[in-house]
Amino acid sequence: MAPPQYRGAINNGFELSLSLGILCANILNYFVVKIRAGWGWRISLSIAALPAAFQALGAILLPETPTFIIQRDGNTDRARVLLQKLRGTASVQMELDDLVSASNLSRTTQYPFRNIFKKKYRPQLVIALLIPFFNEVTGINVINFYAPVMFRTIGLRENASRLSSVVTRLCPTFANIVAMLLVDRTGRTKLLLVGNVEMISSQFFVGAVLAVKFKDHGDMEKGYACLVLIMMCVFVAGYGWSWGPLTFLIPAEVSPLEIRSAGQSIVVAVTFLMTFVISQTFLAVLCHIKSATFFVFGAWICLMAIFVYLFLPETKRLPMEQVKCVWGRHWFWKKIVREEQEEEKQAGTLASPDFLLFS
């Protein structure tokens, strides 16, 4: 529903809302844990009913999208009226034609999960798998899940460690706002690369401080513990304006309508799977390799930067129905896409206008 020039900012609202929710949860936990009767956890758990109620109400009030109206009813007049309302102008015929064309193509695709494994969708499949995977191996969930434990370990008192988890969540919340302002101006890949540099520096710095000052056991001086906290704030800020908001934006942008549902399902599945793996293994890994854990995360982020620089095309300000054109211009993906298009053309299964998009 978002216009191309604001799509990145509006989509990043998802990550901002997520950060605000986690921040509210951390603040709530900071106060309810002080309840001496021992039932504060019931408050933390029951408060989850509030956002669930807002979601239920929002689902009732949420309008359908023009794409869905065209797909379900084929009612282009109703879709045109809604599109004019969304865009604030009567000149929507060109965009409407793109939506109708994409919808007609998607109707010919009955099995999106089967089709996404075809060679012509190889770029989208790789991105749907690797972007959420890389997002999780940055180590962000280590901060989200175990920040109080880590800060107690490095010398901060229990009350201070809980407060530090609130502080480290404030940073990505403000960073999400920065991302919303910049993503449609600077582009997706530049934000990712800048965030990678920031996160790499932070992880290596934290690992070095823990290796030199904390070693394998004992407490750390308060000054160094505060320094670690500051660098973790730098890390989560870098994540907050790069991989955090763009993990769900980029796979949705690059997936054409006929496989978009499959692509986004893969993104969510990989995210939850990697969250489970990280949450179940981090403490054991930390106990075995100590401060080297942060160097491992830093190495993953280096690999992520290489992937973004070499294999991720820029999609800012492009209508989603035209994003498929970028694969034909990319130095690597054009070989795979054009080979598949040539094979389909020879087999007589590809219409010439679609082929010309890649030529």
**Does a structural domain hold residue 55?**
no
Angle, CA of 115, 347 and 325, to the nearest 5°: 55
Q: Given this model, what pLDDT does residue 345 score?
A: 64
In a domain, 60, yes or no: no
> Around 61, how many Cα atoms within 13 Å sit in the side-chain half-sphere?
6
pLDDT tops 50 at residue 129: yes
* Model pLDDT, residue 177: 92
Q: Is 272 a domain residue?
A: yes
Do 165 and 258 belong together in one domain? yes
258/345 same-domain check? no
Contacts 24+ apart (CB under 8 A), 165-171: 165/26, 165/30, 166/23, 166/26, 166/27, 166/30, 167/229, 167/233, 168/143, 168/229, 168/232, 168/233, 168/236, 169/19, 169/22, 169/23, 169/26, 169/236, 170/23, 171/233, 171/234, 171/236, 171/237, 171/240
pLDDT band at 298 (very low <50, low <70, confident <90, very high): very high
In tens, the pLDDT along 184-231 reads 999 999 999 999 999 999 999 988 988 887 765 556 677 887 888 888
* Mean of per-residue pLDDT scores for the chain: 84
Specify whether 199 is located in the same domain as 257: yes
297 and 336, same domain (yes or no): no
Q: 295 and 262 share a domain?
A: yes
**What tens digit of pLDDT does each residue of 61-104 get?**
888 888 889 888 888 899 999 999 988 888 889 889 888 888 88
Same domain, 75 and 16: no
Same domain, 334 and 276: no
**pLDDT, mean of residues 35-42:** 77
Same domain flag for 223 and 294 = yes
Range of the domain at 331: 321-356
Quote the number of domains for the chain: 3
Whether 154 and 236 share a structural domain = yes
Instruction: Compute the distance between CA of residue 199 and CA of residue 201 in angstroms, rounded to an integer.
Output: 5
Quick check: 302 pLDDT over 90?
yes
Q: Above 50 in pLDDT, residue 321?
A: yes
pLDDT for residue 306? 96
Q: Do 240 and 147 fall within a single domain?
A: yes
Residue 215, pLDDT score: 60
pLDDT at 31 over 50: yes
Both 347 and 310 in one domain: the answer is: no
Q: What percent of the chain has pLDDT over 90?
A: 33
Instruction: Give domain status of residue 82, yes or no.
Output: yes
- Summarize pLDDT for 324-356 with one digit per residue, the tens: 888 888 999 988 887 766 666 666 554 444 433
Looking at the structure, do residues 307 and 334 belong to the same domain, yes or no? no
